Amino acid sequence: MSTPIDISEENGVRYLHFGSEWVQGAMRIRRPYALELAYTREMMAPLLLTPANDWPRRILTIGIGAGSICKFIHRNLPEARLTAVEIDAKVVAVAEQFFKLPPDDARFEIVVADGVHYLLDTDRRFDLILVDGFDQHARAGALDTLPFYQTCWARLSERGLLATNLFGRSRGFKASVERLKEAFDGHAVAFPSCDSGNVVALAARSETAPTDATEMRARAYALKEKSGLDLRPTVSRLEEAGLFAGGAFRI
């Protein structure tokens, strides 16, 4: 597969495009390790659902793009081992050259492969799987199918979580969430849409422990102090959307 790649810059932000106007990644040049796009920040919401101790240790990302999520994990979760799967070697090269993607090391493995095939072929288990793969037409293809989500469920550890970026303006958005719910026995939820139109959905291999808004906001504050990432607005949006049923958020 060969992806047409374009790079643009505006107001101090460098953008990645796959041969169209759709933004596939972004980096603020003066803050290259920050998560510039709202949906990439929200993809880190799983960190609010468990105490910050030994989780997650094994992380898989499918789709590298501009490398924002990989850089954040590599820099701020030093105990985690990250495997990043990208279907196009050219995307990896561009991320390394223009977006400061770190090279492979003891904690970071880059695999050039089809993400669907990778999951089918591996017997590894992951604590967290992050899916963010689109083509130049903003289509996720096989990464948004019931068989793929069922494979993700099988490759998660017992406390494992999946976060996936869905394009919220797509008419198939609600169908995507229903596929997730079917694959994860109902343990899936879509967050309120970001300003960009992207929707982050979370799914859990088994029901997560209930987390009330005060506890989640405390975890968000601790994460901000540690990494600079502020997910307190995400907590507020979850509250406004009524996702703290019975006073607690759970999947």
CATH code at position 94:
3.40.50.150
Residue 98: both structure tokens together:
């223009």
- Centroid of chain to Cα 86: 14
Residues annotated as part of the active site: 132
Q: Would residue 152 count as lying in a domain?
A: yes
Work out how many domains the chain is built from and give that number: 1
Indicate left, alpha or beta for 172 from its phi (over 0: left) and psi (-120 to 50: alpha): alpha
Q: Compute the mean pLDDT over every residue in the chain, rounded to the nearest whole number.
A: 91
Candidates 64, 62, 61; CA nearest to 99 is 64
Question: CB neighbours of 225 closer than 8 A, spacing ≥ 6?
Answer: none
pLDDT score for 140 = 62
- Token digits for 42? 């929200």
Q: Is residue 173 part of a domain?
A: yes
Q: How confident is the model at residue 192 (pLDDT cuts 50, 70, 90)?
A: confident
pLDDT at 229: 97
Question: What's the pLDDT score for residue 106?
Answer: 95
Kindly indicate the confidence band of residue 53, based on its pLDDT and cuts at 50, 70 and 90: confident
Residue numbers of the domain that contains 60: 36-249
Q: Is residue 22 part of a domain?
A: no
- Any domain includes 210: yes
